[in-house]
Amino acid sequence: MAEFTPENTSPSPEEQELSKQLSQEFQELETERHNWESYWQDIAEHMIPRRADFNASYAPGEKRRNKIFEGTAVRALTRFASGLHNTLTNAQTSWFQLTVPRPLMQDRDVQLWLEESQRLVIEVFNRPISNFHPASHEFYLDLGAFGTGVMMIYDEPGQGPMFRTFHLGECFLQMNHLGRVDTVYRKFEHSAKALVEQFGIEVLPESVSKSYMEGNPYKKFSCLHVVKPRKDRNFGEAGSMNMPWMSVYMLHDQKRILSVSGYDQFPYVCSRWERQAQEIYGRGPGIEALADGRMLNKMEELGLKSLAKMVDPPLLVPDDGFLSPIRTTPGGLNYFRAGLGPNDRIMPLETRGRPDLNEAKMGQVRDAINRSFYLDLLELPGPTAPDGDVLRFSATEIMQRQRDRLSVLGPIVSRQEVEFLGPLVDRTLTIMVKNQMLPPPPEVLIEADFQVEYTNPVGIAQRAGEMTSVSALIQFLTPMAQIDPSVLRRIDPARVATIAAEILRVPPSVFKTEEEFAAEMEAEAQQMAVNTQ
């Protein structure tokens, strides 16, 4: 299909055919996602109300917390997103390493170039203009609540990678035969002003251009952005129409194509927390915690009513002898006929409620919600005693307990490495190379394939067993060395240091090269020879 630019007059046949095809595909995706929307709406209304736009519409600034009486689930989701962010993409640590095949890793220039490139990529993630950390926090919120997160990585001219997380309510996904998301239909609203700024007034239909020119530039129009694999392309030819991924913007209601272009690489990062084989969208901790969250809200509502009855109980009033109205305000005076019996008076109706039992059960439900969001693994306050006091441990024991807890998260985090972290770093590196934001690589790396190894606490915890074994061996052999000093000679300290540096992901520049180390040892030997003369 040839590239075209729609005009204000009438759509071309190619445009009509493409818009018809995309509209039909979008309708199928809408139908396929319909069952999820009520589920997500329920989760959002109880855990993240600002995202509750799946099958309900709210005016800007309208109250959204009408169904929330108790905020444990809301806070647990926020803490989950923060904990996952600190674990996987912490701004204060280098959470990944660039590597190449092992023979190339022996080259000192290669080591230093990879270290410098990694530092530059981390700087891109951490700079405020890239918007990575706010976008990733939103991504983790969606991942925890709905089980699916969608982030787009833009190639902004002159600035490099830019990150933005889209509301799941806007995004309609489809997978390839490998189970990876490769198609995104995003439905959103744009003002006439934004459409003119993005596409130019000459390609917009009369309804949009007229609104913009006649003083109503902020009128909203329903738009559709489609990114999908391009099938009808000529391999080997350059140009936006031959890129592997098609990018189409269109006015949804009017079925009018605004632009057709493409991407060299899939620009979206779409990850699922857990996924059943037959389903496209994921299931997150929010689905598990939904029943407990709804129950906790109901218990809080009933508890407040019970407490109100105890604080301001209903009254038993004789049907005769009192002058209405009955005044229950502080200092209120109620007049009655003299001579009434001692029991003929106003008295409270004892409900014999037990708010303490309700509060005890609510505490159990709160703990269940926190465990549903893995807060017992992502946070480490320490175990508590029966009286609620936090037990005290040594720093070594705390580190061991933290490794044990993080190891449990290993299988869960592995999916995020495949669906989120891997494509995230790959797309960012590609954009940085394209914009010449990395130093020129050594010649031996021009044809090399890069790999990404993650250095988050979970990955380190999974390999910590190797260091523990070496440390236990040294502790075991130390007393025996008093009998036979030669036993410690079987250990290669230099090899131990190399393994420890590899497990802890120590930067290569920390270690001396083999040549530098050999020259230093030779100089020390010569100095000792001079001193002994």
Structure confidence at residue 2 (pLDDT): 37
Span 87-103, average pLDDT: 85
Structure confidence at residue 407 (pLDDT): 67
Highest-pLDDT range among 84-93, 405-414, 461-470: 84-93
Q: φ and ψ at 190, to 5 degrees? A: -125, 145
Start-to-end CA span in the chain (Å): 87
Span 209-223, average pLDDT: 91
Per DSSP, the three-state class of 438 is: coil
Q: pLDDT tens digits, residue range 252-266?
A: 988 899 999 999 999
Name the token pair of 515.
């040549």
Q: pLDDT tens digits, residue range 25-76?
A: 999 999 999 989 999 999 999 999 999 989 888 877 888 888 888 899 999 9
Answer whether residue 1 shows pLDDT above 60.
no
Least Cα distance to 507 among 119, 128, 242 occurs for 119
Single-letter code of the amino acid located at 456:
N
Answer whether residue 180 shows pLDDT above 60.
yes
Q: Which of 40-49, 236-245, 362-371 has the lowest mean pLDDT?
A: 236-245
Q: Are 382 and 393 in contact (CB under 8 A)?
A: yes
Least Cα distance to 409 among 472, 363, 454 occurs for 454
Q: Are 2 and 14 in contact (CB under 8 A)?
A: yes
Structure confidence at residue 247 (pLDDT): 94
Q: How confident is the model at residue 341 (pLDDT cuts 50, 70, 90)?
A: low
Name the token pair of 488.
């410690």
Query: Distances from the Cα of 424 to the Cαs of 175, 218, 417, 420, 483, in angstroms?
Result: 18, 34, 9, 6, 55
Residue with tokens 């806070």: 75
**Distance (Å, rounded) from C-alpha 85 to C-alpha 140?**
7
Q: Are 378 and 84 in contact (CB under 8 A)?
A: yes
Answer whether residue 127 shows pLDDT above 70.
yes
Span 333-359, average pLDDT: 71
Q: Are 140 and 149 in contact (CB under 8 A)?
A: yes
Answer whether residue 306 shows pLDDT above 90.
no
Q: Are 194 and 207 in contact (CB under 8 A)?
A: no
Structure confidence at residue 479 (pLDDT): 83
Q: Are 156 and 435 in contact (CB under 8 A)?
A: no
Span 153-161, average pLDDT: 91
**Distance (Å, rounded) from C-alpha 223 to C-alpha 251?**
4
Single-letter code of the amino acid located at 528:
M
Structure confidence at residue 329 (pLDDT): 73
Q: How confident is the model at residue 461 (pLDDT cuts 50, 70, 90)?
A: low
Q: Three-state SS across 163-222? A: EEEECHHHEEEEECCCCCEEEEEEEEEEEHHHHHHHHCHHHCCHHHHHHHHCCCCCCEEE
Structure confidence at residue 6 (pLDDT): 41
Answer whether residue 80 shows pLDDT above 90.
yes
Could you please report the per-residue DSSP string of 372-433?
HTTHHHH-----B-TTSPBPP--HHHHHHHHHHHHHHTHHHHHHHIIIIIHHHHHHHHHHHH
**Distance (Å, rounded) from C-alpha 18 to C-alpha 419?**
30
**Distance (Å, rounded) from C-alpha 369 to C-alpha 73?**
6
Q: What is the CB neighbour count within 10 angstroms for residue 399?
A: 14
Q: pLDDT tens digits, residue range 428-460?
A: 999 998 999 999 888 888 777 778 888 766 666
Residues in the chain: 533
Q: Find the angle CA(6)-CA(9)-CA(14) to the nearest 5 degrees.
A: 40
Q: Are 303 and 358 in contact (CB under 8 A)?
A: yes
Single-letter code of the amino acid located at 263:
Y
Q: Find the angle CA(492)-CA(493)-CA(495) to the nearest 5 degrees.
A: 70
Structure confidence at residue 4 (pLDDT): 37
Span 232-244, average pLDDT: 75
Q: Are 511 and 501 in contact (CB under 8 A)?
A: yes
Residues 6+ apart with CB under 8 A from 93: 455
Q: How confident is the model at residue 369 (pLDDT cuts 50, 70, 90)?
A: very high
Q: pLDDT tens digits, residue range 267-280?
A: 999 999 998 888 99
Structure confidence at residue 392 (pLDDT): 59
Q: pLDDT tens digits, residue range 478-501?
A: 888 788 877 777 787 777 777 777
**Distance (Å, rounded) from C-alpha 99 to C-alpha 22?**
41
Q: Which of 48-52, 160-164, 271-275, 302-306 has the lowest mean pLDDT?
A: 302-306
**Distance (Å, rounded) from C-alpha 500 to C-alpha 331?**
76
Structure confidence at residue 469 (pLDDT): 74
Least Cα distance to 113 among 431, 443, 436, 430 occurs for 443
